[in-house]
Amino acid sequence: MNFFSLLRLINTFLDRCLRVLLVGIFTVLAGVVLWGVASRYLFANQAPWSEELARLLMVWLALPGTALVTREESHLGLDALVLTWPEEVRRLSGLLVHAMVFVFAAGVMAWGGGELVGQRLAYGQILPALGISKAWFYLAQPVSGVLTAMFTLELLLTDLRRLTRTGGAS
């Protein structure tokens, strides 16, 4: 098994796990928000943890969700503009975009996010209503960065394989 096949296999597994995780997070988020609203209007006293937990879950829904749409290539783009370009320019621009996303995901999100998590752990910051480390809030960034980098690497290698099979940009 070559590197590309192994990466695709790992990414497929991560994709499936991520889908299950995101559905679970969304379900819990809906329940927490419902409880927060019900406790505010039915009992005139909102559960103090509900808003903070909802915010934490929303971050964990949004950031890993961006990794998933990256793998599906469903993220926002300028398709109307790109479709007007010649085919070889489109292929090369796709390669460039994937390379830039990979660098951003690996450098800024994964590495920089890891530094941020480390700082939050070192400072001992706590989410007051939940009583847990604030690092859990920030951990979504490096996790999403690693996932996005892995998914983008697969897309980048797919583009490179396509380009070498068609003889480059000619």
Q: What DSSP string describes 142-157?
A: HHHHHHHHHHHHHHHH
Task: Answer yes or no: is 113 within a domain.
Answer: yes
Task: Answer yes or no: is 160 within a domain.
Answer: yes
Residue 17 has pLDDT above 60, yes or no: yes
Q: Alpha-carbon distance 119 to 142, whole Å?
A: 13
Model confidence at 167, in pLDDT bands (50, 70, 90)? low
- Which residues, at least 6 apart from 54, have a Cβ–Cβ distance to it below 8 Å? 29, 32, 33, 36
Structure confidence at residue 100 (pLDDT): 95
**What's the number of domains the chain is made of?**
1
Structure confidence at residue 14 (pLDDT): 97
Looking at the chain, the whole-number percentage of residues with pLDDT higher than 90 is: 74
Task: Answer yes or no: is 87 within a domain.
Answer: yes
Q: What is the mean pLDDT of residues 13-21?
A: 97
Task: Answer yes or no: is 161 within a domain.
Answer: yes
Q: What is the mean pLDDT of residues 128-156?
A: 96
Q: What is the mean pLDDT of residues 99-116?
A: 97
String of DSSP letters for 29-50: HHHHHHHHHHHHHHSSS--HHH
Task: Answer yes or no: is 91 within a domain.
Answer: yes
Domain enclosing residue 71, as ranges: 3-165
Q: What is the pLDDT of residues 48-67, one digit of tens each?
A: 899 999 999 999 999 999 99
Looking at the chain, the whole-number percentage of residues with pLDDT higher than 70 is: 96
- Average pLDDT over the chain reads 92
Is 22 within 8 Å of 61 (Cβ atoms)?
yes
Task: Answer yes or no: is 26 within a domain.
Answer: yes
90: left (phi over 0), alpha (psi -120 to 50) or beta: alpha
Structure confidence at residue 101 (pLDDT): 95
Q: What is the pLDDT of residues 70-104, one digit of tens each?
A: 999 887 776 777 778 888 888 888 899 999 999 99
Q: What is the mean pLDDT of residues 157-163?
A: 89
Comparing 85-89, 104-108, 122-126, the range with the smallest average pLDDT is: 85-89
Task: Answer yes or no: is 170 within a domain.
Answer: no
